[in-house]
Amino acid sequence: MEKSLQSQLEEIKGADILIGIPSYNNISTIGHVVRAVTAGLAKYFPGAKAVIFNSDGGSTDGTQEEVKRVQIEDFSTILTSYPLHPVHKIVTPYHGVPGKGSAFRAIFEAAGALNVKACAVVDSDLRSITPEWMDLLLTPVIEEGFDYVAPLYARHKFDGTITNSIVYPLTRALYGKRVRQPIGGDFGFSGDLAKFYLTKDVWETDVARFGIDIWMTTLAVAEGYKVCQSYLGAKIHDAKDPGRDLGPMFAQVVSSVFWLMAEYQHLWKVSKESQEVPTLGFRYEVGLEPVSVNTDGMIENFRLGVRDLMEIWRKILLRETVLWLESIGRLSNEAFSFPQDLWVRVVYNFAIAYYKGSVHREHLLKSMIPLYLGRVASFVKENQESSAREVEEKVEDLCEVFEEMKPFLIERWTTG
C-alpha cells in the first residue's frame, strides 16, 4: 500500500536540500533528469540530506513509475571522500487547479515541512540537464546567502521570443533588475523564500495554472530578496516555432505579467534605471539546435489582425499608433518592419487596458497575439544574418527603449 505524502515527510523528518521536479507525461525524459539530479547531489552535496520530490499532474504514461525505478548505476564515478547520504525520493500526485503552479505549491509545502535550507526546481522535459546544474542552482543559496537563483541559458537566437520581446524587457524596466530568463523554468531558492511563497493566495488563480515562473521571479525581486543568476549552458527541450505554437503560451504568460503589474504598481512607479544582478557560473559557447521560424505566416497573421481586430485595438491604442499599424499592414513581406518604439507603445497600452478592464481581458490578450507575431517576424527578418551576440545586443537595445519610455506608461496608467 502506498504511503501518504504526510507519512513520507514525517518518516524523513527533516532535510537540507529539496529538489522539485513537476511532471506530466514525461516518461521519455524524466529518467535522465532524475539521474542527473541524483548524480549532482552525490557529487556536490555528499554530506547533505537531500530529497527529490516529483510532483505529478496525473501522468498516464508511466512517468511516476519511471521516477521510482531510476537508480544511479555507477556511484564510483561521483563518490567523494565525504560521507554520502542516501537521496530520498517522494513521488506524489498534486491536487488543486490543474497547472504547474499547483505542482510548485506541493513542492513549497514539502520544503516547509522538511525545513530545508535550499531548494531547486527543474523541468521534467530537459534533455540538456547535467549534474553540475545542482551546484549552480544550490551553492549560491547554501554558501553565498542568495534567496533566488534564476537560470541563464545559451539559447538559439530565435528561441525564447516571448522572453526576448516582452517578459525580460518589461520586468527589467518595471522592477529594476536585469534577470535575463525570468520564465526559465529551472530555479534555485532558499527555504525561507519557499515559505514566503506559500503565504500568497494565488493557488486557485490563473497565475497558478500558467504563470508560476514569472510570479516566482517577480516576487523575489519586488519583495527585496537577494537575487542572482547562474549560467547553465544550453537548455535543450522541445523548441517551438513561435508563429505556430506560442500564441496560447503568450496569452498565459503576459496575463500573469500584467496581473503582477497591478499588484506591485507602488514599487515600479518609483523604481529608476535597471541594475545588473550577480551572474555566477562559467560562460562558454555551446552548440544549439536550430529553430525554424515561418516569418511569412506570422506576417499574414498580423495582417489578419489589422483587418479583423482594429475595432478592439482602437479601444486600447492611441490614434497615431493605430494609423502606424495600418500602414505597416500595407507593406510587402519583403519590406515588412515593426519598429521597437511602436512595439513598446503597444505593450504599455495593452498593460494599461488590462489594468483598467476597459476591454474583456481574454479578448484583449488574444487580440495582442497578431501584434506580437508581427514584431517577432520583423525581428527575425532584421537578424537573419546576425550572430547570437549581435542578436543579444538588439535585445538589450529593446530593453533600453522600454526603460526610456517608462514615463509614458506611468503617466497613462494613472490618467488613462
Task: Please indicate, yes or no, whether residues 124 and 51 belong to a single structural domain of this protein.
Answer: yes
Q: How many helices (H) and strands (E) does the chain have?
A: 19, 8
pLDDT tens digits for 243-293?
555 667 788 899 999 999 999 999 999 988 899 999 998 766 655 556 667
pLDDT value for 97 = 53
Residue ranges making up the domain that contains 128: 5-280
Quick check: is 308 in a domain?
A: yes
CATH code, domain with 33 = 3.90.550.10
Assess whether 335 and 303 both reside in one domain.
yes
Model confidence pLDDT, tens digit, residues 128-151:
899 999 999 999 999 999 999 999
Q: For residues 392 and 367, state if they share a domain.
A: yes
Claim to verify: residue 242 and residue 274 sit in the same structural domain:
yes
* DSSP 8-state secondary structure symbol assigned to residue 76: G
Domain boundary residue, one of 253, 280, 307: 280
Of 252, 280, 308, the one marking the end of a domain is 280
- Give CA–CA dist 344/399, Å, rounded: 9
* Residue 268 shares a structural domain with residue 314: no
pLDDT at 246: 62
Q: Could you read off the pLDDT tens digit of each residue along the chain, which spans 416 residues?
A: 456 777 778 788 889 999 999 887 888 888 999 999 999 999 999 989 999 998 887 788 888 888 888 865 544 344 443 444 667 888 877 665 556 777 888 899 999 999 999 999 998 888 889 999 999 999 999 999 999 999 998 877 777 789 999 999 999 999 999 999 999 889 999 999 999 999 998 888 878 777 889 999 999 999 999 999 999 988 776 555 445 556 677 888 999 999 999 999 999 999 888 999 999 987 666 555 566 678 999 999 999 999 999 999 999 999 999 999 999 999 999 999 999 999 999 999 999 999 999 899 999 999 999 999 999 999 999 988 888 889 889 999 999 999 999 999 999 998 75
> What was the pLDDT predicted at 85?
61
Q: Does residue 286 lie in a domain region?
A: no
pLDDT score recorded for residue 76: 39
Does residue 375 contact residue 345 with C-beta atoms inside 8 Å?
no
Per-residue confidence (pLDDT) for residue 82, from 0 to 100: 40
pLDDT of residue 77: 40
**C-alpha cell belonging to residue 334:** 519583403
Q: Do both 273 and 299 map to the same domain?
A: no
Measured in residues, the chain has a length of 416
Sheet-wide strand order for 227-234: 88-93, 50-56, 17-23, 118-121, 187-190, 148-154, 227-234, 279-280
Assign 291 to helix, strand or coil.
coil
User: Rounded to an integer, what is the distance from CA 324 to the centroid of its chain?
Assistant: 32
Asked if 7 contacts 99 with a C-beta cutoff of 8 angstroms, the reply is no
CA distance 163 to 58: 29
| pLDDT score for 285 | 61
383 and 263 within one domain:
no
CB neighbour burial string for 172-194, b if at least 16 within 10 angstroms, e if fewer: bbbbbbbbbbbbbbbbbbbbebb
Residue 17 contacts residue 117 (beta carbons within 8 Å): yes
- Number of neighbouring beta carbons within 10 Å of residue 67: 24
In a domain, 374, yes or no: yes
How many separate domains does the chain show? 2
Q: Which of 232, 248, 280 is the last residue of a domain?
A: 280
pTM: 0.90
